[in-house]
Chain A
Amino acid sequence: MTLAWAEVGEIAARSLGVAGAATLLAALFGLPLGVWLGSRPRRGRMGAQVVLYAGMGLPPVVVGLLFYFLLSRSGPLGGLGLLFTPLAMVLAEAVLAFPMIAGFTLAAVRVRAEGVRRLVRGLGGTERQVLATLLWESRRPITAALAAGFGAAISEVGAATIVGGDIRFHTRVLTTAVVLETRKGELESALALGAVLLGVTLVVTAVLVVWGERR
């Protein structure tokens, strides 16, 4: 093991930070969209449903490449100087996590929509209250949506490499570090980093599940 554990900690913290921020950003848009779409009648949501479900298969490298062109100094948003920064990775990974979160939320809300609407409306609630109740009543399956989104973000390597550049102490995350160590033939280090990655994902998912199950 040639990699110092202090550096592994630094890399793991960045992985967690980037994937966590990407998940939050994706949830900010994905949760409301998923709840709203899920509450719509079938005809009004089928098209969006197809797009979201297909989006779950978005190839990370293609998303990374699009963000590369977008954020490159020669690209339309080049003036921001965002390429090869952690923020660029957050944006690309948020796009990858978004269909997961919106799609799974939609699926969770859809099966409850009719019953909740009848109940809330029957008690004199507004449509807004219907959506809020739907969100609350679907919190357990939404935990799964968030876990899927986070999993997509933290396990992803293609976009992270293309828009992050695997710069040491700056944009190196666990997945790109595994690639680097493998390339260097340092298989023990690569394996250790992989184990840390699994550990981080496990802990975050456990936190989500416990949070979703609380009363």
Chain B
Amino acid sequence: MKKLIALGLLLTAALAAAPLRLATTTSVNDSGLLEAILPGFTRETGVPVQVIAVGTGQALAIAGRGDADAVLVHAPDLEARFLREGKGVAHACIAYNNFVIAGPAADPAAVGAAADALDAMRRIFAAGATFVSRGDNSGTYHREQALWRAAGLDPAGRPWYLESGSGMGATLTLAAEKRAYTLTDLGTFLFMQGKVDLAALFDRPDPRMLNQYGYMAVNPERFPGANREAAYALRAYLLRPDVQQQIGAYLKDRFGRSLFSPLYGRCKVEVSP
């Protein structure tokens, strides 16, 4: 009977609680990570989470108009700007992995022999090897642009430089079909491995390839309609040690390494307004 009452209370809470709307990137959603960790949050708090999975640029644009309560994205400079513009508050670093340059196993541009990430980009450029860019405003696209800039190269308009204009999974598929190189986050790459014929050609520790996921609530002063309590509750939940461990363990058995390594709130790249 007690159990029934408890269940009833839980159900009532779940029905009564206003949902939390989380705008996030395709990489954390399509890899199944959110579906693995968010149900626990809903069970504990009764707050259902509505996930809108888009690119980082679009996620920040949605939240920046007050149409989401929180964001989970991966572009530290854009996150800093979001905070600076007073649109976001309570930033927290949740997890990280690294970006990977994937390409055909034959590796015509010899990216596998590159000394570092910039050398890898230079090799692709010098060889004129087909490269598929996201071409959107995603976190991955921002990083790719930053890499070209840092290498002193401008691939725009080159016949071998293709812009897919779609999400990471679709871009990997396109790159495989075109036997092209592309920049991808590790999570999506591992998740898509076996579905696409691409090899991880540059997958080494390199500070330029660090991929950090940050969480922010939208500024409740600016957007009074936002679900402030739930946004802060999810922040606390994501930073809890047991949930952080759960993030780190996600699919580790299957791939032999973490898709997302926990950060326990300690940023590798500082995100300050």
Interface residues in chain B, defined as those with a beta carbon under 8 Å from any beta carbon in chain A = 19, 21, 26, 30, 35, 48, 50-53, 65-67, 166-167, 169-170, 172-173, 191-192, 195-196, 223, 225
What class of interface size applies to chain A in its complex with B?
Answer: 20 to 34
Given contact pairs A183-B30, A185-B172, enumerate 19 new A-B contacts (beta carbons under 8 Å): A72-B66, A73-B65, A73-B66, A73-B223, A73-B225, A74-B67, A81-B225, A84-B52, A167-B52, A168-B51, A170-B50, A180-B53, A182-B169, A182-B170, A183-B26, A183-B167, A184-B169, A184-B192, A185-B192
A184-B30 contact, Cβ under 8 Å, with A73-B225, A166-B52: yes
A108 within 8 A of B: no
B67–A83 contact, CB under 8 A? yes
A165 within 8 A of B: yes
B167–A72 contact, CB under 8 A? no
B65–A165 contact, CB under 8 A? no
CB distance from B139 to the nearest CB of A (A): 16
- A169–B21 Cα distance when bound, in Å, is 13
Q: List 10 A-B contacts (CB under 8 A).
A: A72-B66, A73-B67, A73-B225, A74-B67, A167-B21, A168-B50, A169-B48, A180-B30, A184-B30, A185-B195
Residues from chain B with a CB closer than 8 A to the CB of A168 are: 35, 50-51
CB distance from B249 to the nearest CB of A (A): 20
- A84–B30 Cα distance when bound, in Å, is 19
Residues from chain A with a CB closer than 8 A to the CB of B51 are: 167-168
Residues from chain A with a CB closer than 8 A to the CB of B53 are: 166, 180
A-B CB proximity, top 9 nearest: A73-B66, A185-B195, A165-B52, A74-B65, A183-B169, A167-B50, A183-B167, A184-B30, A72-B65
Give the nearest-CB partner of B38 in chain A: A168
Residues from chain A with a CB closer than 8 A to the CB of B48 are: 169
Residues from chain B with a CB closer than 8 A to the CB of A83 are: 67
A78-B169 contact, Cβ under 8 Å, with A73-B225, A166-B52: no
A84-B50 contact, Cβ under 8 Å, with A72-B67, A73-B66, A185-B195: yes
Instruction: Give A60-118 interface residues, CB cut-off 8 Å to B.
Output: 72-75, 78, 81, 83-84
Residues from chain A with a CB closer than 8 A to the CB of B195 are: 185-186
* 0 or 1 for each of A161-196: is its CB under 8 Å from B? (1 = yes): 000011111100000000010111110000000000
Residues from chain A with a CB closer than 8 A to the CB of B167 are: 183
Residues from chain B with a CB closer than 8 A to the CB of A183 are: 26, 30, 166-167, 169-170
A74–B170 contact, CB under 8 A? no
A84-B169 contact, Cβ under 8 Å, with A73-B67, A166-B53, A185-B196: no
- A182–B170 Cα distance when bound, in Å, is 7
Give the nearest-CB partner of A165 in chain B: B52
B65–A185 contact, CB under 8 A? no
- A75–B62 Cα distance when bound, in Å, is 12
- A73–B68 Cα distance when bound, in Å, is 9
Residues from chain B with a CB closer than 8 A to the CB of A78 are: 66, 225
Give the nearest-CB partner of A78 in chain B: B66
- A73–B69 Cα distance when bound, in Å, is 11
Give the nearest-CB partner of A185 in chain B: B195
CB distance from A30 to the nearest CB of B (A): 30
CB distance from B19 to the nearest CB of A (A): 8
CB distance from A69 to the nearest CB of B (A): 9
- A83–B50 Cα distance when bound, in Å, is 12
B52–A74 contact, CB under 8 A? no
- A183–B67 Cα distance when bound, in Å, is 24
- A185–B193 Cα distance when bound, in Å, is 10
Partner of B21 from the list A84, A180, A185 (CB cut-off 8 Å) is A84
Residues from chain A with a CB closer than 8 A to the CB of B19 are: 170
Give the nearest-CB partner of B54 in chain A: A165
Residues from chain B with a CB closer than 8 A to the CB of A81 are: 225
A185–B169 contact, CB under 8 A? yes
Give the nearest-CB partner of B31 in chain A: A184
B52–A185 contact, CB under 8 A? no
CB distance from A189 to the nearest CB of B (A): 12
Partner of B173 from the list A73, A84, A185 (CB cut-off 8 Å) is A185
A84–B67 contact, CB under 8 A? yes
Most A CB contacts (10 A, CB to CB) among B65, B166, B191 go to: B65
Residues from chain A with a CB closer than 8 A to the CB of B65 are: 72-75
Most B CB contacts (10 A, CB to CB) among A74, A84, A185 go to: A185
CB distance from B60 to the nearest CB of A (A): 14
